[in-house]
């Protein structure tokens, strides 16, 4: 989504000279605002002793924001340190926001700190039953084959496993990503850079 469309969705005028953070935070769903603050505070604490390694981690979380129509829209927010100063402090950060339109409004926010070198989850992994890796290598393999258009029986033949095992993996993926169907799961995992 382009910046102009993003601003328009939230009811901002593109010609506004600046976006006040207080106004934006007031638009975040009241149940989600503590998650947003807690995620960012805990990211800074987690990274405080990482030195030059800070650049290998990214914070990923989603939350609901009230749009100009009054309905809540789910945003996926990603933060990664792009450059450090000489004292290894964050000097430049890349922040990406995207709309997750296919996710139900009533879902609670999700949040992860991901080690981008191996896609493992370093923090908040105890929430919502998520383990060290959001998806296992086998689940990732199955997702790749699904995204290539293969059905469960063809995947089972290709990987020399039963159709039942493939379907169990599919259900586990849906549970871990808290999505309703596999296309949503693939989209979400691609958005956060795990797939």
CATH code of the region 1-130: 3.30.450
Residue with tokens 């106004």: 23
Residue with tokens 């709309």: 99
Q: What is the C-alpha to C-alpha distance for residues 59 and 78, in angstroms, rounded to an integer?
A: 6
Hey, what CATH topology would domain 134-195 get?
A: Arc Repressor Mutant, subunit A (1.10.10)
pLDDT digits (tens, 9 = 90+) for 178-192: 778 898 888 878 777
pLDDT digits (tens, 9 = 90+) for 61-87: 888 888 888 888 888 888 899 999 999
pLDDT at residue 8 in the model: 67
Domain spans of the chain, in order of start: 1-130, 134-195
Burial annotation 144-171 (CB, 10 A radius, 16+ → b, else e): ebbeeebebeebbeeeeeeeeebeebbe
Q: What is the C-alpha to C-alpha distance for residues 45 and 172, in angstroms, rounded to an integer?
A: 31
Q: pLDDT tens, position by position, for the chain (195 residues)?
A: 445 566 666 666 666 545 667 777 888 898 888 888 888 888 888 888 899 999 999 988 888 888 888 888 888 888 899 999 999 988 999 988 888 776 666 777 888 888 888 877 877 755 544 445 678 889 989 999 999 999 999 999 999 999 999 999 999 998 887 778 898 888 878 777 677
């Amino acid at each position: 989504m382009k910046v102009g469309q993003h601003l328009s969705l939230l009811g901002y005028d593109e010609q506004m000279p600046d976006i006040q953070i207080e106004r934006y935070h007031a638009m975040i769903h009241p149940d989600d605002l503590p998650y947003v603050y807690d995620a960012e505070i805990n990211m800074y604490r987690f990274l405080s002793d990482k030195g030059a390694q800070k650049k290998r981690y990214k914070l990923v979380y989603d939350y609901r924001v009230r749009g100009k129509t009054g309905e809540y829209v789910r945003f996926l927010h990603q933060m990664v340190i792009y450059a450090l100063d000489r004292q290894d402090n964050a000097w430049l950060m890349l922040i990406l926001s995207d709309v997750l339109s296919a996710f139900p409004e009533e879902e609670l926010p999700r949040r992860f700190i991901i080690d981008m070198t191996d896609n493992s989850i370093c923090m908040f992994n105890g929430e919502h039953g998520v383990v060290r890796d959001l998806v296992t290598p086998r689940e990732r393999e199955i997702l790749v084959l699904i995204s290539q258009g293969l059905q469960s029986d063809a995947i089972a033949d290709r990987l020399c496993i039963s159709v039942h095992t493939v379907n169990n993996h599919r259900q586990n993926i849906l549970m871990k990503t808290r999505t309703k169907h596999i296309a949503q799961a693939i989209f979400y995992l691609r958005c956060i850079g795990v797939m």
